[in-house]
Chains A and B, each alone.
Chain A
Amino acid sequence: MGDRSLDELLASANETIAAQSSELERLRAGAAQVERFREALGVAVTGAAVGSPVSHTRLLEMVVETAVHIISANAGALLLLDEESDELVFEVAVGGKGEEVKSFRVPLGHGVAGLVAASGQPMSIAGTDWVETAQEIAEGVGYQPRSVLCVPLFYGGEVVGVLELLDKLDAEAFDSDDIGALSLFANQAAVAIAQSKAHQDALGILRSALVGLGENPGELSAVASEVATDMVGDEAYGQEIELARLVHEVASRGPEERAACKAILRALAAYVSSPAGARTGNVG
């Protein structure tokens, strides 16, 4: 202590303080980015849950658009896993020539996307020597990216797809903060996507149930039980399935019961769509 002057100690302390301030600033910026993600995703999910204005496909596009915008990338793509074939299916692409590609498939383990899905590990890759590696992405978006950030989408503890961003703007590569933020976002997006899909399926059951009222109750039962089996374990939609079962139970009693059930549900649907129904938020 005696060997160092007060000035030296002060200078050293100031340096430490400056370094800590800069680190704090970096952390704050990271937190703000995550917060922006959360808000954007909230809007997307609420839109999807409300129903008609945002379709499942639109939700997927919004997920990629949000990620591309907040991470500052040139383009992005979302691929979901088809478990039957162990392939990733190109669902949506934003930027590049994304709108031209649909139903593009990448085998698990192939290229960056396939590797990320197979390993469950996010990855950032950049550089000029890896053209073949990213061939599937190049074909997907219609151009050759310089840098790629790819993270897995997890739902129910398993990989259900990947989210890929291409060409970080104003930098050679995506950095670790980008990986962290996109990984967090991807997990939330995966939940939103799965719920939107289940919501879509549940609406499908109800639609089938209503159509089946006037036609073939046996077919309705088969459809309902098939979809219900698929959705076992998804508690969020258990009530909708229960509703479909009740409709089926009533419908199977005879034509008069079917007609009555249809009339009640139509009246209920009209009420909840009306300003009075919307204001109360529920009818129970």
Chain B
Amino acid sequence: MSGSGYRPAFSEAFKSDSLAILDPISPIEDVSEEWAWGGARGRGVRVGIIDSGVEEGHSMVGPVNGWLAASMAAGDVRLSSEPHEDAMGHGTACAGIVRSHAPDCELYSIRVLGPGASTGEAFIAGLRWAIENEMHVSNLSLGTTKKAYYAALHELADLAYFRNVILVTAANNFPISSFPCEYASVISVAAHEGHDPETYYYNPMPPVEFGAPGINSRVAWRGGGTSLVTGNSFAAPHVTGFVARLLEKHPDLTSFQVKSVLRALAANIRREEL
């Protein structure tokens, strides 16, 4: 304290000798698809699939770079980094969609759904692992309606936001509170009827902020095959894929910048008027 006098909490970052000087990014109206992700394949970007597991080697998924399975044992969460199977196909579907957008990304299967898991505690443990192990972006096509987990999940979502770990979540389909898709710190996605994987929309009426294909979509499924599916679960991974490509070209973007770029490039923005 000597010599510097009193400073309010958190104000150290703004002292003249410690103030961070950063590179500018393009004005938002100048952001183009080419600038954002043109030519990118997600190389070097770690993508966490927090779900029912991912089937490694599926023709639409390819390799899995890391594993974490959270399960319950005598009331406690047990973590395992051994390779695992997909408990049903849901996680493989999400991984396949991400892979279709970002063929070179690194996929991490974080299994929190399945027999012996599927609790709020397992979900929280998996999400915490994704943040602490520095996934650049994680796909969460799941949620809970149990208020008991509201605070813990909110805290983790904020932690992810501040660490620039992007969380892309599937919106709930009901007018019922569900977490974490309703938090402002995540990117929430619902399904639209289109089938063009490159077309997504921005919704100016949150909490659902983006819409991507997820109705009657042909996706990868457990056992090396495919399924025809409908659900917001299958819309979120499209946006996760876009983020993986964006972060390959612009690894220093913050959580709020990522959301701004996604908004700027949505198909329902009148860009021709710029």
Contacts and interface: CB of A to CB of B under 8 A. Distances in A.
Interface of A: 86, 107-112, 114-115, 118-133, 152, 154, 157-159, 172-176, 179, 183, 187
Q: Interface on chain A toward B: helix, strand, loop, or mixed SS?
A: mixed
Given A109-B113, A172-B228, A129 B221 contact: yes
Contact of B177 (A128, A133, A157): A157
Interface in B23-41: none
Contacts of A179: 173, 230-231
30 contacts: A86-B119, A110-B115, A115-B113, A119-B141, A120-B178, A121-B170, A121-B172, A121-B173, A121-B232, A121-B233, A122-B173, A122-B231, A125-B229, A126-B228, A127-B221, A127-B225, A129-B224, A130-B225, A132-B222, A133-B88, A133-B221, A133-B227, A154-B145, A154-B174, A157-B147, A157-B177, A159-B145, A176-B230, A179-B173, A183-B173
Q: Is the interface of B mostly helix, strand, loop or mixed?
A: loop
Given A132-B223, A173-B230, A175-B215, A120 B144 contact: yes
Contacts of B116: 107, 109
Interface in B170-184: 170, 172-174, 176-178
Interface of B: 52, 87-90, 113-119, 141-147, 170, 172-174, 176-178, 191, 193, 215-216, 218, 221-233
A119 B174 contact: no
A123 B191 CA distance: 12
A176 B193 contact: yes
Given A109-B117, A132-B222, A176-B193, A121 B228 contact: no
B75 to A, nearest CB: 12
Contact of B229 (A124, A131, A152): A124
Contact of B223 (A110, A129, A174): A129
